[in-house]
Amino acid sequence: MRQTISKEAENNTEKVQQFLQTIQATNKYMAETVMVEKEYTQVRQFCFNTDKLCTVRAMEGDCRKPDDYEALEDGDEDLVKYEYMASNCSPTCQICDLLILTNEEVEILNECTPDVETNVFQEGDLNKMFQRIVGELPFEDGAVVPDYKVNIISRPLSEEHIGSAMHELDFHVGPWILTLDNFLTDDECDRLVELGATSGYYKSLIENEDEDEEDEEEEEEDAYRTSTNAWCQDECYKDPIAQRVIQKIENTTGIPDSYSEYLQLLKYGKSILQNEPPSSPSLRFI
């Protein structure tokens, strides 16, 4: 993560120099140790800074392991600082080796890891999934799917379409894009709305926003980003009706729940740009 210096230190030449030297030392450590030495192979993809203030915190001494580390109790300020840095600022503190598992830990991890395939679909399986959804292929035996109505917005041509004139097709030719009417019952929709409200809707954010943008630009982004969202986790995920919806999705797509994100519940407000009324909460699952 890109590192930033505190406002107070921006005009302090000594602090700025220390800041740059710390970043230089971090880059050298990663380039000449973590990315080269064999013992770091298993942690290279996990050893990265997740806090933009790692360098500043390191300058303040947060990387230093307390002398009485083993004797400290949970909640001790020095212990909390060091463990935070170890988890979130390993490159800056040059302690990526703490992420390396022992042989015993690897064995335990392997024993506790479910034996599942890396890929859900093999070549051609994604197309078959859509063919099952539109009724061209049968679902697996025992799969219970809702009595939905499918609307094909776009799809690739199949053998049965060969020779048809383009104007005779009732869909656009392209990637699979479908909508499913009546996939959820009214009771399921009402319950998901309740669960979303209980979990709490939060303003939808735009990924990879430049944190240094002017306020005027951020306000412009807000002008068209009217949605709020909630993730169906914890108690929401355990709810019987939510589980019923998740099972419907799994049966229909053939993708196990363990490969999917949590249900994302979206609620749209009135658009400032289009002057449109709020919409009902919606559900994303594909």
Residues 73 and 127 in one domain: no
* Segments forming the whole domain that contains residue 19: 7-112
**2, part of any domain:** no
Residues 76 and 128 in one domain: no
Whole-structure pTM value: 0.51
Domain-terminating residue out of 91, 112, 133: 112
Residues 213 and 275 in one domain: yes
Residues 50 and 14 in one domain: yes
pLDDT in tens, the chain (286 residues): 789 887 778 888 898 999 999 999 999 999 899 888 888 888 887 889 999 899 999 999 999 988 887 888 878 888 888 889 998 999 999 999 888 777 776 677 667 666 655 677 888 899 999 999 999 899 887 778 889 999 999 888 887 776 777 677 778 888 999 999 999 999 999 999 999 888 888 877 665 545 454 444 444 445 556 678 888 888 898 899 999 999 999 899 988 887 888 898 888 876 655 555 555 555 554 4
**1, part of any domain:** no
Residues 132 and 74 in one domain: no
**37, part of any domain:** yes
Residues 47 and 22 in one domain: yes
Total domains, the chain = 3
215 vs 272: CA distance, rounded Å: 18
**83, part of any domain:** yes
